[in-house]
Chain A
Amino acid sequence: MSESKIAKLHQGLADKEFSCKELTEKYIDAIEKDNEALNAYVTVTPETALVAAEKVDKKIAAGEKIGLLEGIPMTLKDNISTDGIRTTCCSKILEDYTPIYDATVWDILKKQNAVLLGKTNMDEFAMGSSCENSYFGGAKNPHNTGHVAGGSSGGVASAVGGNIAAYGLGSDTGGSIRQPASFCGIVGMKPTYGAVSRYGLIAYASSLDQIGPITTSVEDCAMVFDAIAQYDKMDSTSQGRKGAAACNTLKNDIKGMKIGIAKEYFEGIRDDVRKSVEQAIDVYRSLGAEIVEFDLPSLKYALPVYYIIACAEASSNLGRYDGIRYGYKAENYKDVNDMIKKTRSTGFGAEVKKRILLGTYVLSSGYYDAYYKKAQNLRGKIVQEFRNVFSGCDVVLAPTVPMTAFENGHAVSDPVETYQTDICTVPVNICGLPAVSVPCGFDDKGLPIGMQLIGNSFAEAKILNAAWQYENAANQFRAADFGVKL
């Protein structure tokens, strides 16, 4: 059985079971109690939350109808700009930066009286797979705080998984929504590139970044996606949602739906993870879906292609942190140039510096053709291969991560080995495709396993439909022992 948390809370508010203020306070209290263990929030905003809650309560008291997301306590990853609320990217360089404008997604939700509880932890500038690259220390896994929440949107996943937020928005550049969602046993979707506006999302890699929902159920994911996927004139790459709302077709029958499997996605996958995903495939068979196999020969290049492109764009995107207009500024320096260098060298963490250097390297004269240009060429090839796949199937099913959540402090060993954990998630970013990660089991330590459903461009409704049917047939969501008890 699948159950929508947002729908349940909405009903409670509408039926005056509890007031929005009561609900919000419950969440604020839970944060106070549990955030120390989870380290999910880096900034908590109880005043902002209660102001919004009061507005909602007034509306309810006046007998007005409230929207689905109205009054629902939620969180934003700390790379989504919020006017007047500090937005740090979990970097020392932005530790005290307070945006003077709202990201479009927050503008949309704010107008719907979303209750923002605070901003959540992440790997610095979204670079990482464990959340441990955060200047504020990593967020912990609500199913076992000895393990990481994943990354980079680890804080959102930890908060939603630990129910100290009903839902949240993260960003996904190479798996940063899906991987922590998978690690924390919840649902996370990276929409099609262009479906959700990037305006106000502090850029890591502009051609790969996309904001998306992290929720405890597929239905919640669809509701949030339907709300935020709007065309935005501020983002030249924005297109909004195409077609009807994902909620409309969520519960459709999937008999005859063609689900694609590529063996390349299963290479190097831990046995228990593979087994869980294979069981999910069986569930789909039992639901009447047709399983089709195909090849994605260029998938092996996806990871290096991803790192080259992401780092190249990052090296350029992060050039602006020079201490002059905002953020950390070095205090002892010889001249302007020295100030900029000292600011950046002290302000950025090790992983960020490494990726800036790597990006500078692959774009520099003499190396551009061998790395950046070649990577773009292969990007085209991978796009083409996926296009062919979608001419023969509706959705592609794959593991989200080859393993389950690492132990704290375990992720930072060999750099390339660390990057390998992104192997299943990066292809959709390269191709701009939508993918949703859904919990599909647990390992013997009780850590969640996730699988992802990948769709063609702007086919969010289809992958959410497939995801909902699985969830409804074989729900693998388990509430963690934290947060608000509903």
Chain B
Amino acid sequence: MVTKEEIMKIAILSKLSVGDDEIDQLTEDMSEIISFADTINNAADVESDFDNINNLSNVLRDDEVVPSLDREKILRNAKDSDEGCFMVKNIMK
């Protein structure tokens, strides 16, 4: 069972707002999914050597500089930028 309060709490963590019109349906859906997810707790814990899928280790990179990208490219997809920086405008001014 997931409560509305829990949904509101995780919404804050997720940086999502949940409208009054959405919260009931969402709580219902989430509760259903979570109780479905709960079925895994019927399984006994096992000795599991699961680490990462192919058990890889020490995939490392040499410390050699590669030239960075042009700033124009870096900023290309930003909605707002100024002085070579990404910008969040203060629109309350």
Kindly identify, within residues 322 to 348 of chain A, every residue whose CB is under 8 Å from any CB belonging to chain B: 322-327, 329, 331-337, 339-342, 344-345, 348
* Bound Cα distance A193, B53 (Å): 7
Number of residues of chain A lying within 8 A (CB) of chain B: 68
Instruction: Specify which chain B residues have a CB less than 8 angstroms from the CB of A378 in the assembled complex.
Output: 40, 43, 46, 48
Interface status of B49 (Cβ within 8 A of chain A): yes
CB–CB B77/A97 < 8 A: yes
Instruction: Specify which chain A residues have a CB less than 8 angstroms from the CB of B24 in the assembled complex.
Output: none
Instruction: Specify which chain B residues have a CB less than 8 angstroms from the CB of A239 in the assembled complex.
Output: 54, 56
Interface status of A244 (Cβ within 8 A of chain B): no
Question: Beyond A315-B14, A333-B91, is A380–B46 a contact (Cβ under 8 Å)?
Answer: yes
CB–CB A383/B40 < 8 A: no
CB–CB B86/A324 < 8 A: yes
CB–CB A100/B37 < 8 A: no
Question: Beyond A207-B52, A237-B54, A324-B86, is A360–B78 a contact (Cβ under 8 Å)?
Answer: no
A-B contact count (CB 8 A): 151
* Bound Cα distance A331, B90 (Å): 11
Nearest chain B CB to A414 CB, angstrom units: 8
Question: Beyond A360-B14, A377-B50, is A354–B36 a contact (Cβ under 8 Å)?
Answer: no
Interface status of A305 (Cβ within 8 A of chain B): yes
CB–CB A416/B17 < 8 A: no
* Interface range for B: 35 or more
Interface status of A41 (Cβ within 8 A of chain B): no
Interface status of B65 (Cβ within 8 A of chain A): no
Interface status of A259 (Cβ within 8 A of chain B): no
| Chain A minimum-CB-distance residue to B51 | A380
* Bound Cα distance A194, B10 (Å): 32
* Bound Cα distance A66, B38 (Å): 55
CB–CB A353/B88 < 8 A: no
Nearest chain B CB to A423 CB, angstrom units: 12
* Bound Cα distance A451, B79 (Å): 46
Kindly identify, within residues 51 to 93 of chain B, every residue whose CB is under 8 Å from any CB belonging to chain A: 52-54, 56, 59, 61, 69, 73-74, 76-80, 86, 88, 90-92
Instruction: Specify which chain B residues have a CB less than 8 angstroms from the CB of A334 in the assembled complex.
Output: 92
Q: Which of A331, A364, A379 contacts B10 (CB 8 A)?
A: A364
Kindly identify, within residues 361 to 381 of chain A, every residue whose CB is under 8 Å from any CB belonging to chain B: 361-362, 364, 370-371, 374-381
| Chain A minimum-CB-distance residue to B58 | A236
* Bound Cα distance A415, B7 (Å): 17
Nearest chain B CB to A396 CB, angstrom units: 18
| Chain B minimum-CB-distance residue to A356 | B14
Nearest chain B CB to A430 CB, angstrom units: 9
Nearest chain A CB to B17 CB, angstrom units: 5
CB–CB B15/A340 < 8 A: yes
* Bound Cα distance A331, B39 (Å): 43
Nearest chain B CB to A362 CB, angstrom units: 7
Instruction: Specify which chain A residues have a CB less than 8 angstroms from the CB of B6 in the assembled complex.
Output: 361
Instruction: Specify which chain B residues have a CB less than 8 angstroms from the CB of A301 in the assembled complex.
Output: 39-40, 43
CB–CB B40/A305 < 8 A: yes
CB–CB B77/A326 < 8 A: yes
Interface status of A357 (Cβ within 8 A of chain B): yes
Q: Which of B14, B41, B77 contacts A357 (CB 8 A)?
A: B14
CB–CB A357/B54 < 8 A: no
- Of the listed residues B15, B30, B37, B59, the one surrounded by the most CB atoms of chain A closer than 10 A to its CB is B37
Other 9 A-B pairs with CB < 8 A, given A98-B77, A364-B13, A432-B54: A300-B39, A308-B40, A332-B91, A344-B16, A357-B11, A361-B6, A377-B46, A378-B43, A416-B36
26 A-B pairs with C-beta separation under 8 A: A97-B77, A100-B73, A207-B53, A236-B56, A236-B59, A237-B56, A237-B59, A304-B39, A305-B40, A319-B14, A327-B77, A332-B91, A335-B92, A341-B17, A353-B16, A354-B26, A356-B14, A357-B30, A360-B13, A377-B45, A378-B40, A378-B48, A380-B46, A383-B50, A414-B32, A419-B33
Identify the B interface with A (CB < 8 A).
Answer: 2, 6-7, 9-11, 13-17, 26, 29-30, 32-34, 36-41, 43, 45-46, 48-50, 52-54, 56, 59, 61, 69, 73-74, 76-80, 86, 88, 90-92
Closest 4 CB pairs between A and B?
A380-B48, A380-B50, A326-B77, A432-B53
